[in-house]
Amino acid sequence: MSTKRRQSSYSAEEPFEFVDYTSVSNFERLVTHIEETLYSWGIKDGSFGIFSDEQISAAKAALSNPTAEEYTRKEVLSVDEDTFYFTYHCQPTVVESNNAPPLAADHFYQFQYNQYHPLHRWTGQSRLLILKLANDSIKKKILLGTRSSIENHQAKQLISACAIAFQNTGCSIPVFTPVGQERHKMFLGYMLTTSNMDHPLNETETRFNMTIISPPSTLSCLDELKYLFMQKQSALRETYGKVDYDDKDVWTTAVYTYDLKNWFENNWKQWPETPDTASERPSISRDLSDDFGQTSQKPLDETENMLPFGSYNDPLRSLTLSALFPFWQDGLYDDAQSTNMDALTAKQWVLSREFAPANQQRADLSNSIEQIIGSWIKDPCNSEYLAPYDEDNDESVNDRAMLLRNLFLANNSRSTSSSTSGSMADSTGGTRSGDEQVTVVKSDQIEEVLNNLFSRNKVPLYNNKAGKEDQKEMLDTKKLVLKFRASSSVPYGSFLWNLLLFTIKALANGNTNPNSRRQHFADFMGFFRIVWTEVLRKIRWHWENLEPIPDVSPYLYDDDNDEDHNCNDPKKKKILGIDLRFNILHQKLSMVNCCIYRQRQNNSSQSGKGASSKEQTILDNKSRSNLNNERPGQSKKQTRSPVIDDSDSTEEFFDTVEDVEGSINIVQRPVDEELEEPGSAHPLSESYVRLPFVAIFNNEEAEAAAIKDPNRAEGQLCEHTEGLKLLKTGEPLQVPVTQDPGFMTEDMVKEQAEAFENMGSSDRATLKRAQLQSRQLYSDMQAFKAANPHACLEDFVRWHSPRDWIVPEGSKNEEGHLSKRMSEPNNIWQELWNCSHRIPCSRQSPLFNIYTEAEKALFFLETTSVHELFSTMLPTLVLIAYDTLVNHPVVKHSRLVTDELLELRDVLIHFPWDDLRFGKKTIESITFQIRQVESMMCNAISLLRKLPRQYDLVDRLLLSEQTIVQEGQERSAVFQLFKNDDGIISKPSSREYVLYSSCNGLIGSDRYLPMRQYALVKDNEVRIVDLHTVDAIYS
């Protein structure tokens, strides 16, 4: 120690600097580094730090498939020229609590050494530290060669350094350091026990030693190992001056392990046939028709009934059976000549499984979805429609509304649309989409899609029964479709659903090789464009020939897809209409089908009378002209330009406004100047919702169609069911035949609402809105007058609007009066009744122009680009994937698979589909969840093929790497799996023995110094791990 004087001009005092020249050894530096590392990991005062029970629980909740790397921490300690690796290992195995004595670790069999360090199993410790010298440098590798990684004296020195650090920090986790040749994996270990004063291991130290013996050896049987352990116990007693020996203090446990490597199977995903019904799972309903446990049925063929999913190879690598012999003292023996210990005499079986790592398992379905959506995004023709995905997308800078065409405005199509061009596809199946992409497909693939779509004899895809009875409704795809945001999907199994499904299946079945299939899906949009072009031709042919489009229900809320549309039960009679719960594309197809059905009904009712309307004449002429062509509508479509301009769109498909109004011959009443004249400038001017000026209908055409005889009745359907009488004459009130209302799609409803809103808020505008909505009412009044010649407005109100007929309490119906709103002189009902004529339904002008509205719907479909079509079908694409998973039979038998599907269901319901269409969000969250379900399902299928009908056992194996096999059917199924050709279980691949003694009484009646001997007997080695405890107070 010396001092140095420092001169200072700022202070009169003379400060001194002390310099310490005391040397610090490398050993002390190593102890300091170990202490700092332990503190950084939070290991102090008996705590487990970063791998505490609370931290492990949180990690399990956050990590779906945790690996050994997530439960390992490593630090590099540098001391002088030496480098050490200090590693913290944790195996998060849930250890079942028992009443075993301290340090017995009879649960060692729960620790797996496939992924985790084998010391966990050898010592029975869930957490351990390893300190070893790093031999990474070339110099050390040359000098050491094949010698031991750490010499015996070096290992003891490292253990001593750890012992000092543990004393300073209060670490109670065992530490090990390798010794001997590295290939032998031998270790020395130390553990400090710092329990409370009342614990029998308080202030004790535990030492670990390891020995490896090459066979043959006498220590390969239990009796010799027990004799060795008793010798060590006697030596310990002599050290403490205790010569008496208590043989009852020796406890033994054993585990016999039987390994079964999985075998390769091409059809490993095929659902098994099992005719036996004895082991029906009680929690699964027995009335499900495809329960393979009830009857021997045809195995499920995924190429026919579902899209490819899951991994290509069996994910199950191996199954391991551990036969347990819990702690015993007498009764079992195992010597060189005989033994009564085998799998059948074991008291407990534990079954373990090993699956391929998650990153090595393919997910065919989720990968296909990603590639299909990637094809949509990267397609060259999509450059003006969807901007590339960017997390920094800013609507204020890049207005997506200019890039994304409003799907509700069909005639606003861009010139780049080529969906109606007849030259897009030819018989060779080739097409060019954009300037840089060429898609070549097989013509038979397109024919396959078209045949499946338009075939009337196709088999239903699925029975759509999934899950347990109490969860069946929750998993039902039909129900899930209705939970999506309004107008975002299509009905389950409908035409557009099948279009997307059959297109994907055609590409998937075209090549069973997953790598080639990936390339096919990368070209999905090119193939889909060709298919859509051909589908449009087929749809137009169906309209022109009045053949209903398959799988497009024309009925309102037809959730049952019942084909019996001619039901005679009036309560079950279906109503023609468009279901607005689904997207605009399905609504337009429904419009076409509704027009087909309505026209067929009209033709049926007018049979023998000939066509009587302009629309029917045109339609018949167009149909006859196409019957002579080999391809209906081909010649017409080939002459139509793919670039559809606004100027000729109405000329192509619709009558002009003047022609429409002229055909009806409506005399219009002058309108207030505040109201906007709804002429040809309004988009609804050529629709059946064209806002007619219904004020005075006493024109010449109406006068000519009216019934002249004041007493003649025409157009009667039936008498009123409640027996109502006409107020003036007392005649029975006749229910008239009325015109059916028209059909409206969502865009038409919005346009009508906008037109009404633009009229203003004056009294005249309010009256005008009422008039514009009264066309159906006016037609009903005319039909009612024709059926009831002597009726008055009050009679009409009693039939049409019973709530507006007020009957005093205790009075008859005929003694009532009109409501207040009906009694007002300027009420629209009063005005319409006064100007209406007695015209039956058969002679009225039609309210709904079937031909015009059908052509408008077709025009919308033909001018919708394939990119817009696919973007609208994005929710349906994912629903098809969900349906593939939920309809597999394994869903009904695995609770864990069902839970995964319920999570996927919730993700789909709350997913922002519009953000995906606008490029603001990716599909990753959905494909990740689908990948999880695929992996779980494949694992369950593989296990159930090996363990048929053992649903609870399989669920436990899916949840945990190992599980206890229950007595009865589970044990029988496992025995059938592991037995050999001779009908017995072969010899174990390894035998493990643990001998334990508490050694109580050596240093007091209330303190223990346990001894434990673990022995692993295999064909190539006998490994013995000794644990002995010493008193840290007096030693």
Q: What is the DSSP string of 966-1030?
A: PTTHHHHHHHHHHB-TTSSB---SEEEEEEEE--TTSS-TT----EEEEEEE-SS-EEEEEEEEE
CB 896 within 8 A of CB 936: yes
CB 127 within 8 A of CB 78: no
H/E run at residue 806: strand 805-806
How many alpha carbons lie under 13 Å from residue 111 in its C-beta half-sphere? 24
d(CA 103, CA 1009): 10
Query: How many angstroms from the chain centroid is the CA of residue 92?
Result: 28
CB 84 within 8 A of CB 36: no
According to the model, what pLDDT value does residue 456 have?
62
d(CA 416, CA 526): 15
Going from the C-alpha of 465 to that of each of 380, 562, 908, the distances in angstroms are: 41, 17, 19
Q: How far apart are the first and last CA of the chain?
A: 37
d(CA 267, CA 941): 11
CB 839 within 8 A of CB 782: yes
d(CA 190, CA 1026): 12
Give 367-382 as a DSSP string.
HHHHHHHHHHHH-GGG
According to the model, what pLDDT value does residue 61 have?
64
According to the model, what pLDDT value does residue 532 have?
93
Which two tokens mark 930?
């689908």
112 contact partners, CB below 8 Å, separation of at least 6: 91, 93, 121, 352, 961, 962
Phi, psi of 385 (to 5 degrees): -100, -45
d(CA 321, CA 973): 12
| 985, β-bridge pairs | 979
CB 703 within 8 A of CB 837: yes
CB 92 within 8 A of CB 66: yes
According to the model, what pLDDT value does residue 269 have?
78
In the chain, the amino acid numbered 4 is: K
d(CA 752, CA 107): 75
The dihedral sign for the CA sequence 372, 373, 375, 379: positive
H/E run at residue 910: helix 895-910
Nearest C-alpha neighbor of 596 from the set 655, 533, 664, 540: 540
- DSSP 8-state class, residue 339: B
**3 state SS for 681-736:** CCCCCCCCCCCCCCCCCCCHHHHHHCCCCCCCCCCEEEECCCCCECCCCCCECEEE
d(CA 593, CA 496): 14
Each domain of the chain, given as residue ranges in start order, spans 25-91+126-194, 665-845
**3 state SS for 727-783:** CCCCCECEEECCCCCCCCCHHHHHHHHHHHHCCCCCHHHHHHHHHHCCHHHHHHHHH
Q: Work out the number of other CB atoms within 10 angstroms of the CB of residue 381.
A: 20
Task: State which residues of the chain have pLDDT below 70.
Answer: 1-22, 61-65, 94-100, 136-149, 194-200, 240-247, 272-305, 329-330, 382-442, 456-473, 510-520, 558-573, 605-704, 767, 770-772, 1001-1006, 1033-1035
In the chain, the amino acid numbered 1019 is: D
d(CA 734, CA 719): 4
Residue with tokens 């010499």: 151
Three-state SS at 174: coil
d(CA 998, CA 249): 7
d(CA 485, CA 874): 13
| 18, β-bridge pairs | 3
According to the model, what pLDDT value does residue 679 have?
36
Q: Before 272, cis peptide (omega within 30)?
A: no
Phi, psi of 1032 (to 5 degrees): -85, -5
CB 349 within 8 A of CB 323: yes
CB 389 within 8 A of CB 922: yes
